[in-house]
Amino acid sequence: MTDPDRKKIVRLAEVTKSFGPVQALQHIDLDVYDGEILTLLGPSGCGKTTLMRLIAGFEQATSGRIFIDGKDVTLVPPEKRPVNLVFQRYALFPHLDVFDNIAFGLRIQKLDKEDIRSRVHDMLRIVQMPDFADRWTHQLSGGQAQRVALARALVNKPAVLLLDEPLAALDLKIRQQMLIELKRIHAETHTTFVYVTHDQDEAMILSDRIVLMNRGGILQIDRPEVMYARPRSLFCAQFLGETNLLPATVVEMNGKTACFDIGNCAVSGPCGDWPVGSAVSLSIRPETLSISERGRGAPSANRLDGSVTDVTFIGNRVRYQIRDSGGRTIRCEEPRSVEGIRFQAGSAVTLSWPVEANVVLSE
């Protein structure tokens, strides 16, 4: 997904990075648009942190060039780059109080005292900690420390704010609050965010665009809902959200729909350019499957009989595990209905799903 009209604030061209014999990043081409929240998402070791450190200047690219705000910064040291970083473990200076931590960058720029004071206090207001200027960093909770770290970076008005798994060290409740806070701060400061995470939920909630990475390469760049609905690889389908993957063979292609054989049943799915007879995988999200009593339910393009083997109640949702006649396990999820949990383990059920629920992956 590219947009030639939008201003690019960061541009990576053919960037590779090796640590000795290990290729950490290979042939990375990436544009970051001005003002967006871009997430680098991937499992640990996929190269997302290395990519962020390359932008920050803590690592040198083995080849390729990096541009920030139109300038080639490939060889520029970190202190001369117009970016600031929020570290995973905050990295607040323990010998300075909150005010001095936030003022650190401004003092190095030799701004005048009054200016520093007002900017630090503005920033404390934005992160909603106006009364914390004189606290020591060890007196702060994790969430507060992360706000200070955010303020310390944003007060320098960076062209890009880099965030390295900033919520990983926080517990769940605070993490959810902070996500909302991050969106608000982003809107309030009009800063470009490049956000590194391995957490797909964070990525989906926060991002304008997600960059999905694996093994040192970029697999897909898309808006979260597009990436979720139309993954372009098995890896993407499995990493982002949950899915059922059914091995299938292409049987027929008739222009509008395609017919697949999944062993015990024929499935119709969307058309594509797969040759008849080729092996593919069908990815079906659990929430796109409708579950009903065996033989009942609205007519649908695809139906599959099975019996419930496991029921998990997750408050607002119910998750069923179904074994079909072919012995395959399929997960299905529905919102909790007014009747409560509709099926028990052992219930005979029918799963149905529309043509578009099948995402065909050839890999």
Partner 1 sequence: MLLRAYVGLYLAFLLSPIIVIVLFSLHSSASLSFPFQGFSLDWYGELWSNLQIRAGIVNSLIVASATAVITGILGSLGALAFPKLHPMLRSALAMTSFAPIALPGLFLGIALVVLFAQVAIPPSLYTVTVAHVLFTLPFFVLAARTRIELFDFTLEEAARDLGASPLQSLRMVTLPIIAPTLVGAAIMCFALSFDEFIITSFVIGTESTLPMVIWSMMRHAVTPVINAASTLALVLSFAVTALAGLVFLHQRRSHRRRRAPRLAHD
- Chain residues binding partner 1 by CB under 8 A are 56-58, 77-79, 83-85, 87, 89, 91-95, 97, 99, 104-105, 108-109, 117, 133-134, 152-153, 156
- Residue 79 or 225: the one with the smaller Cβ distance to partner 1 is 79
- Residue 118 or 177: the one with the smaller Cβ distance to partner 1 is 118
- Distance CA(251)–CA(259), nearest Å, equals 5
Of 223, 360, 343, nearest to 290 by C-alpha is 343
Rounded to the nearest whole angstrom, what is the least distance from the CB of residue 96 to partner 1 in the complex?
Answer: 9
Rounded to the nearest whole angstrom, what is the least distance from the CB of residue 216 to partner 1 in the complex?
Answer: 22
Residue with tokens 């665009």: 209
- Residue 97 or 181: the one with the smaller Cβ distance to partner 1 is 97
- Residue 67 or 104: the one with the smaller Cβ distance to partner 1 is 104
Rounded to the nearest whole angstrom, what is the least distance from the CB of residue 163 to partner 1 in the complex?
Answer: 12
Rounded to the nearest whole angstrom, what is the least distance from the CB of residue 123 to partner 1 in the complex?
Answer: 13
- Residue 100 or 305: the one with the smaller Cβ distance to partner 1 is 100
Rounded to the nearest whole angstrom, what is the least distance from the CB of residue 166 to partner 1 in the complex?
Answer: 13
- Distance CA(81)–CA(189), nearest Å, equals 19
